Amino acid sequence: MTEAERHRLMLDFLKDRPFASVRDLLMIVDASPATIRRDIQKLHETGAVRKVFGGIAAAEHLSALERLAAKPFEENQMLGVAAKKSIAEEAAKLVRDGDALIIHGGSTCHLFALLIANRNLRIYTNAMPLAAALWQKGSCQVTVAGGDLYREPGVIYSATAGPPEFYASKFFLGAQAITSAGMFESHPLIVRETEKLITRCDEVIVLADSRKFGLRARHQVMNLNRIGTLVTDDGLSDANHKMLTDAGIKVVIAPRRPE
């Protein structure tokens, strides 16, 4: 059983109860007590659970919309593919040869990165699936974050490290949800890493299909006025378009092609 599978079982066990003891976790996960304790520490560091005496306590329960927003990468990359490909193509037009870019994880950013993988670029990423894809399929220069791999969000993260010594003209990232209060994510670790990376770029460019405006997520990443450009599809409502432009965001609409 992989670490990601163990973590998923532990989190599923907590959905209907406020607490799970180490003994409970030993019953549902095929692992040693030492491995269970390491898993507890890792989940606690990401904010997915709270480590308490004798086990773990559940974080606040997510709403149905939040659970939809928090789908894992492997599942999420199969949703809204046509819109995401169109958004990725429009985002690629914003890149100039010679640019230094920061690219976060997520299915739309993954498609975008593949389109520019063989251009004359310097790319920094903390997303393991994206780094692997750029290594296999690209020729651009790639800098990868240092730290531990957190498999659930697919992020390489170090709790003790500061912002990287990498400066970018553009920071491309996705979003789990966007409202008038700002951009939100379901995993707290993504928020922490974004807060570091946002200090190392000139412009923030968000790639988010129009479905993200109907979702909610727990953790605020940034206010709308921190976003420079947002690329989305033509399913964006007039009300949401006005919300974005009123916040000073340049909105790029990618025409959706047939699924």
Supply the CATH number for residue 84's domain.
Answer: 3.40.50.1360
User: Could you give the count of Cα atoms lying within 13 Å of 143 in the half-sphere of its Cβ?
Assistant: 12
- Angle CA 135–140–141, to nearest 5: 85
**pLDDT grade, residue 85 (50/70/90)?**
very high
Query: Do 172 and 151 share a structural domain?
Result: yes
pLDDT of 80 over the 70 cut = no
Distance CA 156, CA 152 (A): 11
Rounded average pLDDT over 113-119: 97
SS3 205: strand
Average pLDDT, the chain: 87
User: Which two three-digit tokens encode residue 217?
Assistant: 């997520």
Same domain, 98 and 27: no
Same-domain status, 45 and 156? no
pLDDT of residue 247: 97
Q: The pTM is what?
A: 0.73
Q: What angle do CA 46, 155, 22 make, to 5 degrees?
A: 35
Q: Using one digit for the tens of pLDDT, what is the confidence trace for 126-174?
A: 999 999 999 999 999 999 999 998 877 788 988 888 999 999 999 999 9
Is 259 inside any structural domain?
Answer: no
**Are residues 114 and 42 part of one domain?**
no
Residue 259's pLDDT is what? Answer: 56
CA distance 39 to 222: 29
In angstroms, rounded to a whole number, what is the distance separating the alpha carbons of residues 259 and 253?
17
- Please state the domain count of the chain: 2
| Sequence-distant (≥ 6) Cβ neighbours of residue 220 within 8 angstroms | 181, 182, 183, 184, 191
* Total count of residues recorded for the chain: 259
**pLDDT average, residue stretch 76-86:** 72
* 57 and 79 inside one domain: no
Give me the pLDDT at residue 76, please: 54
> Quick check: is 79 in a domain?
yes
Residue 27, domain extent: 3-61
Q: Model confidence over 37-71: pLDDT tens digits?
A: 898 888 887 777 878 777 888 765 444 444 445 55
How many whole angstroms separate alpha carbon 121 and alpha carbon 131?
Answer: 14
pLDDT average, residue stretch 192-219: 91
Residue 81 has pLDDT above 50, yes or no: yes
